[in-house]
Amino acid sequence: KYYGALNLITDKDERIKVANDYLLKMKRGESLPVYQGMKRLRAQEQESNFANAVQCCYKYVSDRRNELAKDTISQYKSRINFFHQWLCSKKLSHLAIGGINKDTARDFLNYLIDEKKFSSKTYNDYKILFGCIWQQYVEDDKIRKNPWKQIDSLPDQPKHFASYPPELRKLLRETLPAHDRQLWLFMQCIYYCAIRPDCELRKMQVRDLIVDKHRFIVRQEIAKGPKGKKRARVVNISTHLFEQLLNLNYHEYPPDYYLFSVAGVPGKKMVSEQYFRQRWNVYKKLHNIPAIYKIYGSKHTGGKLLSFLFNEFITKEHFGHRSMDSTRQYTEDIDKDELSMLQTKYP
């Protein structure tokens, strides 16, 4: 199946030595040298005989599907797919797992920072994931080295919770409802109810809206927290937000419909993590809004107001935090005059 130019080696012992080296490389999944005149394998033979790096990554996740949470599996697959897209752009998708060296790994990680502008935490998350995958293949004697372990992690960046200043809140009130009503409603749910956008709010269904009590229920299975330690929580809905939900007849949709679906109204298909983020980025670009302001900023803006109006315990419970330290991150450097304006003018 493989032509390695062995016929060009006249010494028998040397030929056997090189052949054994080829066999060892095949066993470890490493790339083999390509010689002129080499007969290439057909696609189906290539797939069945030589797994490339991306296939090995997917196999690693598949082998652990009973150990990992569904969200974790989805996140890992998303990162592997992103790595695959980068490899394709560099014409490196054919490489076996042993063919990914330190330079290739570093180029990919630098791409995350330099071109995609990802945070140091995301950089480290990618490095840890692929480091674990490659380490497993090292321990299984499939490859010799783990290139990801040879690269240093980046220092953690301090979290910066950028709440919205008065001029941005004014802009949102005046322009966002007409530009994107669904995004506006989504951000108000985050602001008023402190529901986390990715892991909680986008997974909530019509049945989680308790009309007669003006409340949302964040079910245990979607609440943020360590596996086995999640807890459901009840969140009060402000009158302003509740009236909008009623006027839009959200409570009349089937109970298993997602509150925020790709249909723009409650529907069967849940939105992806990138769905509102991409639409928020379009809106920001249209109005030249600085990159520091994220959708999550709605939660921090509302959090500062809540901490000004109530004690820390009420704020902690409303936000569903496990520790008071998490709550205090929302209350650092509070400007009382700013919060007074926040209370009366937003939204």
pLDDT in tens, 67-78: 888 878 988 999
C-beta of residue 39 within 8 angstroms of C-beta of residue 4:
no
Mean predicted lDDT score pLDDT of the chain: 81
Mean pLDDT of 150-165: 78
Return left, alpha or beta for 272; rule: phi > 0 is left, psi -120 to 50 is alpha, else beta: beta
Look at residue 258 and tell me whether its pLDDT is greater than 90.
yes
| Confidence at residue 334, expressed as pLDDT on a 0 to 100 scale | 46
C-beta of residue 36 within 8 angstroms of C-beta of residue 57:
no
CA angle 228, 231, 233 (to 5 degrees): 165
| pTM score of the predicted model | 0.57
pLDDT in tens, 167-180: 998 999 999 999 99
Confidence class of residue 345 from pLDDT cuts 50, 70 and 90?
very low
Look at residue 298 and tell me whether its pLDDT is greater than 80.
yes
| Confidence at residue 342, expressed as pLDDT on a 0 to 100 scale | 40
> Which tokens is 129 given?
């994931």
* Rounded distance between C-alpha atoms, residue 304 and residue 206, angstroms: 28
Look at residue 107 and tell me whether its pLDDT is greater than 70.
yes
* Rounded distance between C-alpha atoms, residue 260 and residue 266, angstroms: 5
* Residues constituting the chain: 347
* Rounded distance between C-alpha atoms, residue 12 and residue 58, angstroms: 40
